[in-house]
DNA sequence: TAGTGGTCTAGACCACGTA
DNA sequence: ACGTGGTCTAGACCACTAG
């Protein structure tokens, strides 16, 4: 460190803190450009790598996004709401205003790509899904990607027992009116109960690419298991969500 | 770049990919030490900052954790399960057990610190909570931190209308048997319905410190609103969870 | 005490976006 | 064409942890 230490904090942390405060104070609004590496070098009298490190802190925090050749910009947060109840049932839940705003108004969630294949079940899937006796460990795998206003926001992978769904539209890209669950109903295996397990972590390199995630944006993992009237697990759907695009909502009674 | 480009990828990405694969293949198990900066410099013939950058990638992905003066180690993932339904069933909290103690599966989840105060409601909270007419915008705020096996994993902040809970144990650090919701029941405002909103992002510097989070670990935010029999929102609980410590679970019917 | 990661410098060349 | 962020080098000193 060259001259003063300024409160026992590393220079790059001080610079980061200053920028963070400025963003929080609204000096730089969503989408606006921050001082770049060169600006910070001059303003604080530091080397390029130090200015870079300061900006790296804000990127890792998800506050800011760097665009090559353009600059560093304040990120925006406009999620959509995904309701655990409503989307799979008709019951209306939770009147009253919500804590986080999430407007889906006028924005389109579309399937971007569909891929269907038959594969050997992983141990994790085989352990959850109720496979028929002697039916092997084959599963029908449906991989889809969803985009919101053109931006990919969700990767979904469904697993179903292969012998259950063979020779049905479920093995086709287009499952027909009502979708997957309507076809399961046709088979007399209509899902009536669901369990969703949720966690979060940083994306793998592959996930970051397929969701076009900038640095500092985690993914939310939702694993949904669908049970039929007999309590058999007929489908497992593993979803990977862009955490900056979604607010999940669940309701339940005491 | 000095000699070969090796597939259009930056050196540090190649090194990171190699280490990532090695970890995935089990060459380095949870808790084990990876090659350090010096090792990578020698092995790949790169400068210190480049080796550092490679390790930085794995840290940002949450795969690995650096310990000053010791080395870089593979991180472990041992979450506990938090069930949305069972934990609030009145069969549990109605009879002397508080909400959070309910699911310490073998491991101990303890309250680390409690802080109670009366504050002006933020716009977000005031918009959600049903405040009495003319009762002002004051809210009772209860801040708690929970630790699991000594490690902080959850920050919880409850907001309740101040005029509703004044002169009750809710304004005390210890709310008594059955906890907060039992006291609301005493007031004839027993919560009967709940809504939980969930999102995820990287922690603020403050959150990272209070949860002792290493780099590359996001937080999960859970905002729970409790409604009484009249449908009035009597409590909002904003929680910040260490994402590596929790799996959330919800169940519902079609 | 020896080795580790953390911070920092002062240069360099590149690919990219915007104008 | 110019400025931007992205990558990289070859040094340096420090604080911390472990043996």
d(CA A82, CA A248): 5
> What band does B50 get if pLDDT is binned at 50, 70 and 90?
very high
pLDDT per residue over B196-233, tens digit each? 999 999 999 889 999 999 999 999 999 999 999 999 99
If you measure CA to CA, which chain A residue comes closest to B235?
A: A99
**Cβ within 8 Å, pair B247-A60:** no
d(CA B209, CA B100): 22
Q: Given a cut of 60, is residue B77 above it in pLDDT?
A: yes
Cβ neighbours of A94 in B, within 8 Å: 193, 195, 225, 227
**For the CA atoms of chain A, what is the radius of gyration?**
23
The residue assigned the tokens 């902040």 is B157
Report the mean per-residue pLDDT for chain A: 86
- Comparing CA positions, the residue from A59, A67, A56 lying closest to residue A10 is A56
- A11-24 helix and A37-44 helix, angle to the nearest 10 degrees: 110
Q: Given a cut of 80, is residue B171 above it in pLDDT?
A: yes
Q: Given a cut of 90, is residue B49 above it in pLDDT?
A: yes
d(CA B184, CA B158): 13
Q: Which residues have C-beta within 8 Å of that of residue A130, sequence separation ≥ 6?
A: A161, A232, A233, A234
Chain B 25-64, residues with CB within 8 Å of chain A CB atoms: 49, 60-62
pLDDT per residue over A83-108, tens digit each? 876 665 444 444 556 667 666 655 67
Residue nearest to nucleotide D9 (CA to C1'): B47
Percent of chain B past pLDDT 90, that is, above it, reads 65
Answer for the pair A251, A235: CB distance below 8 angstroms, yes or no.
no
- Which one has a higher pLDDT value, B86 or B151? B151
If you measure CA to CA, which chain A residue comes closest to B123?
A: A99
- B11-24 helix and B48-60 helix, angle to the nearest 10 degrees: 50
Give residue B97's pLDDT: 33
Distance B215 CA to D15 C1' (A): 19
Chain B 104-133, residues with CB within 8 Å of chain A CB atoms: 124, 127-128, 130
The residue assigned the tokens 């939770």 is A94
Tell whether B71 lies on the interface with A, counting CB pairs under 8 A: no
d(CA A160, CA A154): 19
B45 dihedral zone (left: phi>0; alpha: psi -120 to 50; beta): left
Cβ neighbours of A252 in B, within 8 Å: 84-85, 88, 193-194, 250, 252
d(CA A106, CA A155): 21
Q: Given a cut of 80, is residue A3 above it in pLDDT?
A: no
DSSP of chain B, one letter per residue?
Answer: --S--TTT--HHHHHHHHHHHHHHTTSS-TTPBPP-HHHHHHHHT--HHHHHHHHHHHHHTTSEEEETTTEEEE-----EEEETTGGG-HHHHTTT--TGGGG--SS-EEEEEEEEEEEEPPHHHHHHS-PPTTSTTEEEEEEEEEEETTEEEEEEEEEEEHHHHTTSGGGSS---TTHHHHHHHHTT--EEEEEEEEEEEPPPHHHHHHTTPPTT--EEEEEEEEEETTS-EEEEEEEEEETTTEEEEEEEE-
**Distance of residue A83 Cα from the nearest chain B Cα, in angstroms:** 9
Q: Given a cut of 70, is residue B111 above it in pLDDT?
A: yes
d(CA B95, CA B197): 27
Residue nearest to nucleotide C6 (CA to C1'): B68
**Distance of residue A184 Cα from the nearest chain B Cα, in angstroms:** 14
Which protein residues have their Cβ less than 7 angstroms from some atom of strand C?
A 1-2, 10-13, 45-50, 53, 67-70; B 34, 36-39, 48-49, 52, 55, 66-72
Structure tokens at A56: 């790296």
């Amino acid at each position: 460190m060259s001259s003063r230490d300024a409160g026992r904090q590393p220079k790059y942390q001080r610079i980061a803190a200053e920028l963070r405060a400025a963003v929080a104070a609204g000096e730089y609004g969503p989408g606006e450009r921050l001082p770049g590496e060169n600006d910070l070098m001059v303003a604080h009298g530091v080397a390029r790598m130090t200015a870079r490190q300061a900006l790296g802190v804000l990127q890792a925090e998800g506050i800011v996004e760097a665009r090559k050749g353009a600059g560093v910009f304040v990120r925006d947060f406009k999620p959509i709401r995904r309701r655990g109840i409503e989307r799979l049932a008709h019951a209306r839940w939770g009147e009253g205003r919500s804590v986080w705003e999430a407007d889906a108004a006028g924005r389109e969630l579309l399937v971007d790509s569909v891929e269907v294949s038959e594969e050997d079940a992983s141990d994790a899937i085989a352990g959850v899904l109720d496979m028929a006796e002697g039916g092997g460990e084959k599963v029908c795998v449906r991989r889809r990607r969803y985009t919101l206003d053109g931006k990919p926001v969700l990767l979904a992978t469904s697993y179903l027992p292969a012998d259950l769904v063979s020779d049905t539209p479920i093995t086709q890209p287009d499952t027909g009116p009502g979708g997957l669950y309507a076809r399961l109903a046709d088979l007399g295996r209509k899902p009536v109960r669901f369990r969703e397990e949720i966690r979060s972590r940083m994306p793998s390199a592959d996930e970051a690419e397929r969701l076009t995630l900038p640095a500092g944006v985690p993914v939310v993992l939702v694993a949904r298991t669908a049970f039929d009237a007999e309590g058999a697990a007929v489908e497992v759907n593993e979803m990977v969500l862009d955490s900056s695009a979604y607010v999940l909502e669940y309701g339940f009674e005491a």
